[in-house]
Amino acid sequence: MSEREFDVIVLGAGPAGATAATVLARQGRRVLLLDRAKFPRKVPCGGWLTGLAEPFLSELGLNTKKVLTNPFRDVTFHSADFEKQSAPKIDRDFGFMIDRAAFDSALVDLAQKAGAQFKSEHEIHDLKLNESGVQVFHPDGSSHSARLLVLATGRSAAWLDTIGVARARGDAAILNAQVEATIPKKNAPKTPHVSVALGLDGGASFGLIGLTKDRLVITVNWRGEADAVIRTLIYLCRSAHEAGVAPMDLSNFAVSAPVIKSPAAVALDMDTHVGKHALVVGDAGGFVSAASNEGIYPAMWSAKIAAEVIHNALDSKYVQDELMQFNTMWRMAMADHLRSPHTDVRFLLPLIFSNQPMADRMGAAFFFGENI
Ligand SMILES: Cc1cc2nc3c(=O)[nH]c(=O)nc-3n(C[C@H](O)[C@H](O)[C@H](O)COP(=O)(O)OP(=O)(O)OC[C@H]3O[C@@H](n4cnc5c(N)ncnc54)[C@H](O)[C@@H]3O)c2cc1C
């Protein structure tokens, strides 16, 4: 392959990579979007997307009417023992319950329509940097080259060292375990609903119970000892069912649920997201909200900012200097959204169940990244 076959290679076609590819291709850049998975691909996901994503996705050109079909207006907060509850109120949809596989595929389609070349089932097993740009290698020995790289490979930290970016140690990391099931029609809710069990460890760990007309998904977001995750998921499945919050008891499935480490909010602790000829976006850069472990919207948002920076860098004599703008730009736009509420949840918990304005503020913090 000749040098600089593409302007930009985007590695990873999740929400982050597909967004970066769309924005850059629409600017007329030659973009190659690569992913090792076959699409549509299944990823573990609670499937809730903040309401903030709707205008973002419309602007990106996605047919939101087709993809965001399950808005949810009703949210319930529960205490960890399900004895107390409160319902935050806001004057708009909290968000959407999405079919994650279909959502990610719709974003990849959008990137292709914008002109990006997409190759699925293309694992990258080596990455080389030289003075003129980057080269990625497939296991069969073939390669592709570009001037710049967007690293959007998700929560694994692969390639960060190669491009010279250090991932923060991940003190903020969250452990996730999840179960899901198809709901029989007779048990289906009339409208999608999200319940959040707060304070599972007495502090910031929580469980999320998402319900649509055909699907129940229960996720534990855990900050405590690793060996307690599955125990907590079993407890959550059972208690949510007994409290009438989950129409089925999924505790039998919980026993064998995989435990996944999410890079919650480590973006805030990283010195830089700028590598040699490369920017890091999405989960790969720790762009995950600390309060709610929400990662889809932050992944797309970080990627959009990165794509704008790269578009400018490609026209500049000082490419690497231009790329450095990303560090400032994402912080100015996103840092508040990613940060956890400036309050110790432990002290806040009783108020959320006794004081409506506090429940409303917790709702805005959790689903819209606002400060409490
Ligand atoms: C259990 C769980 C539940 C979650 N629930 C929610 C939720 O309800 N709402 C929410 O907003 N967030 C949720 N998240 C977080 C969210 O899923 C992520 O933040 C989001 O997927 C990040 O998008 P991304 O594009 O950065 O990475 P990903 O979606 O992980 O995409 C990365 C892509 O890179 C590809 N890739 C990796 N390495 C290579 C390679 N070497 N070669 C080629 N391709 C490669 C992968 O195949 C993958 O398709 C959840 C996370 C977990 C673990």
Phi, psi of 157 (to 5 degrees): -95, 15
Sign of CA dihedral 249, 364, 221, 343: negative
Phi, psi of 311 (to 5 degrees): -55, -45
Probe target for ligand 1 pocket from 22, 38, 43, 120, with the most ligand atoms within 8 Å of CB: 43
Q: Are 146 and 32 in contact (CB under 8 A)?
A: yes
Mean pLDDT of 219-230: 92
- CA nearest ligand 1 atom 21, residue: 296
Q: Are 299 and 19 in contact (CB under 8 A)?
A: yes
Q: Are 262 and 284 in contact (CB under 8 A)?
A: no
Q: Which residues pair with 8 in a beta bridge?
A: 31, 148
Mean pLDDT of 238-250: 97
H helices of the chain, in order, are 15-26, 53-60, 64-67, 100-113, 160-163, 229-242, 251-254, 296-314, 319-323, 325-338, 345-352, 356-368
Does 129 score more than 90 pLDDT?
A: yes
CA of 347 to the centre of ligand 1 (A): 32
Which tokens is 141 given?
């020995």
CA of 155 to the centre of ligand 1 (A): 7
- CA nearest ligand 1 atom 18, residue: 295
Mean pLDDT of 265-275: 93
Does 296 score more than 70 pLDDT?
A: yes
> HSE of 357 in the Cβ direction (CA atoms, 13 Å)?
1
Render pLDDT for 9-42 as a digit per residue (tens, 0 to 9): 999 999 999 999 999 999 999 999 999 999 999 9
Which atom of ligand 1 is the closest one to the Cα of 281? 26
CA of 284 to the centre of ligand 1 (A): 9
d(CA 112, CA 21): 8
Confidence of residue 306 (pLDDT cuts 50, 70, 90): very high
- CA nearest ligand 1 atom 44, residue: 35
Confidence of residue 170 (pLDDT cuts 50, 70, 90): low
95-97 and 85-86 strand pairing: unpaired
Which tokens is 58 given?
């419309």
Q: What is the DSSP letter of 290?
A: T
CA of 279 to the centre of ligand 1 (A): 17
Confidence of residue 2 (pLDDT cuts 50, 70, 90): very low
Mean pLDDT (the chain) is 93
Which atom of ligand 1 is the closest one to the Cα of 153? 34
Sign of CA dihedral 351, 353, 357, 361: positive
Structure confidence at residue 188 (pLDDT): 83
Confidence of residue 263 (pLDDT cuts 50, 70, 90): confident
Q: Are 20 and 150 in contact (CB under 8 A)?
A: yes
DSSP 46-61: --EEETTHHHHHHHHT
Pocket of ligand 1 (CB under 6 A): 11-17, 34-37, 41, 43-49, 123-124, 152-154, 176, 178, 219, 260, 262, 282-284, 288, 294-297, 299
Does 233 score more than 90 pLDDT?
A: yes
Q: Which domains does the chain have, with CATH numbers?
A: 6-47+99-169+265-338 (3.50.50.60), 174-262+343-368 (no CATH)
From the centroid of its chain, how far is CA 256? Answer: 24
Probe target for ligand 1 pocket from 97, 167, 283, with the most ligand atoms within 8 Å of CB: 283
Does 168 score more than 80 pLDDT?
A: no
Measuring CA to CA, how many Å separate 318 from each of 23, 145, 284?
A: 21, 20, 25
Q: Which amino acid is at 282?
A: G
Whole-prediction pTM: 0.96
Sign of CA dihedral 270, 271, 273, 276: negative
Mean pLDDT of 328-334: 97
CA of 295 to the centre of ligand 1 (A): 8
Which atom of ligand 1 is the closest one to the Cα of 125? 41
Mean pLDDT of 290-295: 91
d(CA 1, CA 208): 47
Render pLDDT for 52-89 as a digit per residue (tens, 0 to 9): 999 999 999 999 999 998 999 999 999 999 999 999 99
Mean pLDDT of 201-227: 92
6-11 and 31-34 strand pairing: parallel
Which atom of ligand 1 is the closest one to the Cα of 46? 8
Does 1 score more than 60 pLDDT?
A: no
Probe target for ligand 1 pocket from 134, 149, 151, 153, with the most ligand atoms within 8 Å of CB: 153
Mean pLDDT of 274-280: 97
Render pLDDT for 337-359 as a digit per residue (tens, 0 to 9): 998 776 677 788 999 999 999 99
Structure confidence at residue 45 (pLDDT): 94
Does 182 score more than 90 pLDDT?
A: yes
Q: Are 52 and 368 in contact (CB under 8 A)?
A: yes
Dmax over CA atoms of the chain, in Å, equals 66
- CA nearest ligand 1 atom 35, residue: 12
Confidence of residue 172 (pLDDT cuts 50, 70, 90): low
CA of 186 to the centre of ligand 1 (A): 33
d(CA 197, CA 296): 21
